[in-house]
Structure 1
Amino acid sequence: MQIQESEIETYLSDKNVIRCIFFSEFHHIAGPKITCQVPENYVSKDIFDNASVYIIPKAQLQRSTLTVTLKDCKILGFPVKIDDKKYARNAFYFNLCFVCDAEARTFHYEPVVKKMADFLMALEVENSFLSSVSVDKTRLAGMLRQVMDDLNSHNMCTLTEGTMTTHLKVVRLAPEPKPVYDHQVPIFLDSRDKFFDEQWDLTTQQVLPYIDGFNHVSRIAAEADVDKNLVKSCVQNLVYYDVVTLIPIFQYSNVYATTPKLRILAEDHDLQDRCINYVSKSSRQLAYLRDIYRMYASMIHNTSTRDLCQRLNPQSLRIHERRLIQFGLIEGLIRRVYKYPINVKRDYIDNDENSRDVKYDSVYKYFTGAYSFDEICCHTNHSVAQLEEIIDRDPNVVVLLK
């Protein structure tokens, strides 16, 4: 799945834009001071004085990303010290800082601030670009203005000074992916052919061939002969980079229900085209949108996929029912209705010990309402039919659908 520009623009909302960039240095007589800032006088002397101990900090905090939140603003910097006998006190201290609103998120700017600080340090070592700023601030002011304008407008900026160039880019920071479970099924969000083995570590290369949209994590681990925890880590990494997403195990006994997003399918022509191409049995004879929509709309509680297929016969409609389910889950048009067995009589003891097989007893610890059929089947190696047989034979077990 491609990262859309609109996603980045939403993430970098108005309250998260850069309000000011300033360059600060330690003067051997005057102490910490702002040498150059754009726009001018955005950060007052009082604000700077309150935060200066963190803007030009002690040696232990040099080359560390520091964020200071004050009443009206948040200052993000990466203090740098250059040791050289040519400077007063044998060192040059500086910090290039971004200023945002106090409530803004600035984590996504940290790599940019560090990279720009390294660029400025290289310029200083090469030709004393920074230590001469006190005399002529024009070039540095122009550079800071370009960075602020370009990052706020395009989330990227290219700086060139003399023979040196650097590229700055604000990247989308996705939230940490949720834990991956044994019963979940990874599925590619784009064609598998677009990814090359050289992009991945050896373990991921071993796992990728078994990701087909139907194999769950436990089965992938078994077929790839890879430790299950390693498979989970690989899949979690692929989820983070939007290479795969996770969907439930497909079985004809599954029940699905539509979501409010289904109405988008009736209005969005691009979504319609992608849906038709994805769920059609053949690229030469495409399914009709009305038949696809009717199948989705018929997914209601207490109607299994098997019942739906027997009633509507998707094969005759040129529809691949498994891919129909996959597309609906990926796009959020439908959701899985899970079954959770609950033993309402937890202290249940069968008077006839021989009437219950030991393998049946092993599943009862999962009948708490916290485990779905998918999870229980993966943990116990029971099939859905076996699990339903156990539940049907025991009047003390009820099934919650949600």
Structure 2
Amino acid sequence: MTSVAENTKDKGQEDPIQCIFFSEFHPIVGPMITCQVPDNFISKDIFDTVSVYIIPKAKLQRSTITVTLKDYKILGFPVKIDNKKYARNAFYFNLCFVCEAKARTVHYEPVVKKMSDFLMALEVENCFLSASEDKTRLAEMLQQVMQDLNLHKMCTLTDIKDVKHNILIEGTMTSHLKVIKLAPEPKPVLDHQVPIFLEGREVFQMDQWDLTTQQVLPYIDGFNHVARIAAEADVENNLVKNCVQNLIYYGVVTLIPIFQYSNVYAATSKLKELTENTKLQERCIAYASKFPRQPAYLRDIFRMYASMTHGNSMRDLCQRLNPQNLRINERRLVQFGLIEGLIRRYPIYLPGSPYNEEIKNNPVYKYFTGTYSLDEICCSTGQSAAQIEDIVERDPNVVMLWK
């Protein structure tokens, strides 16, 4: 994507479309607006200052271009149709959406592209754009598109003329325009967090992602934390964080805590759904069973979840209930519970202790401030939870806080 101003990083409001205009390259006059709704929304003076981006050089053709001015943000997708019947052997045009300068417009990008392709097809079929200087029909189309997208977030362009019923017509083609609802911006991803697929890995095609993401995906297994993924995939840490954040945005993965047998989990009020929702039951059994051909019993799964309470570590729970004998994979049981919100984990925080010589010689103590979780400390220092717990056990000035 080519962008003349920040677009995808813009965190402004998702305001409605204020104007749609159609611009083309006149062989004598040059770039000009030949149709816009509302009329004269974008003045000639404003257009002249950005026309070089609206009708750009060949390298930027068929690229999403966003121009941010003081009061407006203009989003377009310039198109060039090569044919000897046109003056200068080509027809250049650009359909542009105009929003407020601080508006977020990334969700309109696929709509602008799709409508531009529709107009290009109409032009190739019957010279809809270039045959006449009368742009009344085009103006009706732009007016209806702006109205429908602002009110309903969708519009249909078809081959039956019926503007009163939200149907726009030209030629013998149909195109459906829809504004995709934007997900909230994901929170920054941290080194100690564990990405996990919300659906099976097999449903995602590797070639639909960028090369860095393709390199990272094989190491996402629901157990590797971000720092470990970066090391094993041999990808710079911040790049992995950006990849994971992008996957979260598109609903491909979510984040869960690192699994350790010293972790303490607690059932949430949502666990009740497991007794009522048969589809949830089926998914839980399929996910948490150790042997797919010999699935675990729901009663045993529910018993394990219900036994997760403050003071009982996962190690204690496994020793008491022996999930292996119950045909339960306890690691995947925990994963499913966290993903579905059936359980939550108690993070451990370590408050500071008085300064002494041991603190000076052991850098791990700088994390004992009460603001770092055990996962963060392990990930930052490279020490295991057992090693950290051993330090805490030997130092009476350090205690664990369970939250």
TM-score for the superposition, normalised by structure 2: 0.69
Whether 1:59 aligns to 2:68 is no
Confirm whether residue 331 of structure 1 aligns to residue 331 of structure 2: no
Distance in 2 separating the partners of 1:51 and 1:268:
59
1:374 corresponding residue in structure 2: 375
The question of whether the paired residues in 1 share the 8 Å contact of 2:145 and 2:155 is answered with: no
Q: Distance in 2 between matches of 1:187 and 1:172?
A: 23
> Cα 1:337–1:23, aligned 2, differ >3 Å: closer, same or farther?
same
Distance 1:316 1:52, change over 3 A: farther
Assess if the C-alpha contact under 8 Å between 1:35 and 1:133 holds in 2.
no
The separation in 2 between residues aligned to 1:184 and 1:58, in whole angstroms, is 44
After superposition, the Cα gap between the structure-2 partners of 1:251 and 1:111, relative to the gap in structure 1 and judged at 3 Å, is same
- Tell me the CA shift for residue 365 of structure 1: 1.0
Q: Give the C-alpha shift of residue 330 in structure 1.
A: 1.0
The offset of 1:311, in angstroms, is 2.9
In structure 2, do the counterparts of structure 1 residues 133 and 112 end up closer, same or farther at CA, with 3 Å as the change threshold? farther
**TM-aligned CA distance change 1:95 to 1:191, over 3 Å:** closer
Please state if 1:137 is matched with 2:144. Answer: no
Which letter maps to 1:349?
Answer: N
Cα distance in 2 for partners of 1:78, 1:165 equals 21
Deviations 1:29-76 (A, max 9, x none): xxx999686xxxxx6x7xx66988668875356365468999xxx997
CA distance in 2, matches of 1:113, 1:226: 35
Between stretches 293-302 and 154-163, larger displacement belongs to 154-163
Name the aligned partner's letter for residue 107 of structure 2.
Answer: H
Q: Distance in 2 between matches of 1:381 and 1:122?
A: 59
Instruction: Give the secondary structure class of the aligned counterpart of 2:111.
Output: helix
Match of 1:11 in 2: none
Deviation of 1:17 after TM superposition, in Å, equals 7.6
Q: Distance in 2 between matches of 1:35 and 1:229?
A: 45
2:200 aligned partner:
191
Structure 1 vs Structure 2 CA RMSD: 4.8
The amino acid that maps onto 1:373 is L
Moved more, 238-247 or 316-325: 238-247
Aligned to 2:221: 212
State the match for 1:274 in structure 2.
Answer: 283
For 1:349-386, what per-residue CA distance to the aligned partner results, in whole angstroms no more than 9, with x for missing partners? 24xxxxx498x611011111221111111222212111
Aligned to 1:112: 111
The one-letter amino acid paired with 2:227 is S
SS at match of 1:309: helix
CA contact (8 A) 2:19 2:146 kept: no
Give the Cα–Cα distance (whole angstroms) in 2 for the partners of residues 149 and 50 of structure 1.
Answer: 21
User: How far off is 1:338 after superposition?
Assistant: 0.8
Pair 1:100–1:327, CA change in 2 (3 A): same
In 1, are the aligned partners of 2:301 and 2:328 still within 8 Å (CA)?
A: yes
Contact 1:56 1:94 in 2 (8 A): no
Amino acid at match of 1:241: Y
The corresponding residue for 1:349 is: 356
Matched ranges for 1:54-133 at <5 A: 59=51, 62=54, 65=66, 78=76, 107-113=106-112, 115-117=114-116, 119-120=118-119, 129-130=128-129
Instruction: Specify whether residues 361 and 349 from structure 1 end up closer, same or farther in structure 2 by C-alpha distance, changes over 3 A only.
Output: same
Which residue does the alignment assign to 2:183? 174
* Greater CA drift, 186-195 or 153-162: 153-162
Deviation at 1:79, TM superposition (A): 9.7
Deviation at 1:341, TM superposition (A): 0.8
Residue identity over aligned pairs, in percent, reads: 60
Q: Name the SS of the counterpart of 1:317 in structure 2.
A: coil
1:395 aligns with 2:396: yes
How does 1:4-15 map onto structure 2 within 5 Å?
none
Matched position secondary structure for 2:192: coil
Structure 1 counterpart of 2:329, from 320, 334, 337: 320
The answer as to 2:256 corresponding to 1:256 is: no
Count matched residues: 366
Say if 1:75 and 1:97, in contact at 8 Å, map to a contact too.
Answer: no
Q: Could you tell me whether the CA contact under 8 Å between 1:207 and 1:224 is conserved in 2? A: yes
- Unmatched runs of 5 consecutive residues or more in structure 1: 1-14, 27-31, 38-42, 351-355
Contact kept in structure 2, 1:22 and 1:144, CA below 8 Å: no
Structure 2 letter corresponding to 1:308: L
- What's the counterpart of residue 8 of structure 1? none
- Partner Cα separation in structure 1 for residue 235 and residue 20 of structure 2: 49
Taking the TM superposition and a 5 Å limit, the aligned residue runs for 1:201-240 are 201-240=210-249
Change (3 A) 1:21 1:197: closer
Q: Give the Cα–Cα distance (whole angstroms) in 2 for the partners of residues 338 and 198 of structure 1.
A: 37
**1:156 and 1:170 in contact (8 A); partners too:** no
1:66·1:77 contact (CA, 8 Å) conserved in 2?
A: yes
Partner residue in 2 for 1:361: 362
Provide closer, same or farther for how the CA distance between residues 311 and 242 of structure 1 changes in structure 2, counting only shifts above 3 A.
same
